[in-house]
Structure 1
Amino acid sequence: MKKANKNFQNTSKERLRLFIAFNFLLFSVFVHSQEIIPLYSSKIPNSKPSTLKESGTGMYKDVTVPTLEYFKPNAEKASGTAIIIVPGGGYSVVVYDGEGVSAAKALAEKGIAAFVLKYRLPNDAIMIDKKIGPLQDAQQAIKLVRDNAEKWGLDKNKIGIMGFSAGGHLASTVATHFEKSYIENKEKTSLRPDFQILVYPVISMTNELTHQGSRDNLLGQNPNKEDIDLFSNEMQVKSNTPPAYLTHTADDKTVDVDNSIVYFEKLRHQKIPVEMHIYPKGDHGFIFRFPGWIEPLFSWLQNNSWLKK
């Protein structure tokens, strides 16, 4: 189990290294974040006292204070759409710059308000129930953006979520668990994202499909069947699950492409609009090696009126 976690962390570090090497050549845009917003204005839910301190630059460990970093959309192209971006990292680190900031800059240049989520990683040292900590932060992000839509000039009915790898698991969890609020929500704000974008995502916690390190970190090394089923998001798809865009590579040796394929099939059978792009080669983190990966996503967003033509 420890070896699986180490391998995933090494993969995450490689993704960050490639990102730095490219030095944003993937997206040659002059977009800067406008604001870093604390996710909670008062006590962080499901937390307990701890001496744990956040560490890292560009890739973070031991996050205790979750935030959203706001990238304002290009004013000439602004569509009113917002996307909350959830970087991956096997629920052990947050690949913040490589998967979060890079995507945010590309989306903002196209006229989409982008919010990068730095979320708490599941950890018994800081959480009463580590299984729901990341989900709480992602739900709070949806609520915060939707509640402040008018302030930011956004359409509250055009708020999507985008996740990479284990961040894709968290994004798909938000997209399939929105009927239950894991946060305080007196305003009864809708926690349902209007669409989901999943990039080489972990979807399942089942033995056959899961990425072992992600499951160990989220559910522990000996999870019960109830938790496995609850967090296997292919099992949670319903007729009101949001539309989805999926992309993966067939040769992904870290997160099996069947995660995306099974999710696609579940969505399709529920008649949920879903588009999937599977590339033959590229392995995990392929976005760092293929700058053009995002172009089909822009087309999908445009075809669904979330991006201006």
Structure 2
Amino acid sequence: MPTLAQQHRLQRALGLLASALLLSACASAPKGSTAGVDAEPKVYSLYDVTRSADIPNGRASDDLETVRDAANPDTFLMQVTLPSMTAYLPDPANATGTAVVICPGGGYRGVSIVKEGYEIARRLNREGIAAFVLKYRDPLDATMTDKKFGPLQDVQQAIALVRENADAWNVDTDKVGVMGFSAGGHLASSAAVHYTDPVLERWPAGQLRPDFQVLVYPVISFQDDIAHKGSRSNLMGEPIDPRWQQYFSNETQVTEATPPGFLVHAGDDGSVLVENSLRYYQALKAHGVSAGMLILPTGGHGFGMRNPIDWFATMTQWLHEEGF
């Protein structure tokens, strides 16, 4: 028999799913307005260095960063060498104290910094949430001594920096979460399940644990049957080492101490199979971790905020009910 606490969490999850079904039937597309967002975003070097060799786990390299298609307004950065985060702070009169480190997607070969970064940050600001868009390094042998840990190192550094600067940024250190899209969802979930294994000596595990995780069409598993093999290969290289395949199959790394999570996925996603979200949700529930999930009927992959259903509204409802 489940405990009363487990029953309560299950009832709350079912309530969220019911709300999601209602939104599926009648919700309209989110508007692009940024009303109420006054502060200009500021870019911060993640390690306060200007050379890749000075980054822990870094190798001496030129700055290799390029833009895939300069004419496309949805900027997609490739070969990111020097990581940074862009801080979007809400109007202090509207600030809730909650903060989110955003990990855009890109298959671990780039960063979709606008559609899955800046646009999300502005919407979070409208809800009084501080947002930090992470431009994490692409895993490259040319710039890292061990590329499979470079992105995880960067997200752990970002979480710790948000907490370290909480007073200046009007952030509650107990309300710092991560949000990720596609391969950025893999990175965000890696932060959620691997915080007990810091990849930077500077930070203790307690400083690195996200308080919650929001994963949108995330890559979760590196298991052969549902893996997004491009993301897996870009992060780990070939041939695949079974030890690290298991380590980065994040559905297998969930424990009772994993932070609560909310997942969004389109059922017709032909790039990252919806089974990634389903398995992660099941793993969270199996370990008694509070979780919500919204499966959209359509949208494919990579829609960001541009889906006919306002998934963001359900997500913010979940944050409210979780106390964030």
What TM-score, normalized by structure 2, do the two folds share? 0.84
The reply to whether residue 281 of structure 1 matches residue 298 of structure 2 is yes
Structure label with greater radius of gyration = 2
Partner in structure 2 of residue 28 of structure 1: 33
Partner in structure 2 of residue 132 of structure 1: 149
1:139 positional shift: 0.3
Q: What code does the residue aligned with 1:211 have?
A: H
- Give the direction of change, closer, same or farther, for the CA distance of 1:127–1:238 in structure 2 (3 Å limit): same
Q: Of residues 60, 66, 71 in structure 2, which corresponds to 1:49?
A: 60
The reply to whether residue 212 of structure 1 matches residue 229 of structure 2 is yes
- Give the direction of change, closer, same or farther, for the CA distance of 1:120–1:260 in structure 2 (3 Å limit): same
1:188 positional shift: 6.3
Aligned residues: 283
Q: Trace 1:103-142 onto structure 2 (pairs within 5 A).
A: 103-142=120-159
Task: Please give the secondary structure, in 2, of the residue aligned with 1:281.
Answer: coil
Q: What code does the residue aligned with 2:112 have?
A: V
Q: Contact conserved, 1:70 with 1:113, CA < 8 A, in 2?
A: yes
Q: What code does the residue aligned with 2:102 have?
A: I
Partner in structure 1 of residue 322 of structure 2: 304
Q: Deviations over 1:28-79 (max 9, x none)?
A: 1143543101101352111101235211252111111100100011323211
RMSD of aligned alpha carbons: 1.7
Q: What code does the residue aligned with 1:194 have?
A: D
**In the aligned structure 2, how far is the partner of 1:225 from the partner of 1:183?**
24
Q: Contact conserved, 1:135 with 1:182, CA < 8 A, in 2?
A: yes
**In the aligned structure 1, how far is the partner of 2:61 from the partner of 2:203?**
28
Q: Deviations over 1:213-256 (max 9, x none)?
A: 10110011311110100000001000100000001011100000
What TM-score, normalized by structure 1, do the two folds share? 0.88
**In the aligned structure 2, how far is the partner of 1:188 from the partner of 1:256?**
31
TM superposition outliers: structure 1 runs of 4+ over 4 Å = 186-189
**In the aligned structure 1, how far is the partner of 2:229 from the partner of 2:322?**
35
Partner in structure 2 of residue 295 of structure 1: 313
Task: Please give the secondary structure, in 2, of the residue aligned with 1:111.
Answer: coil
Percent identity between matched residues is 45
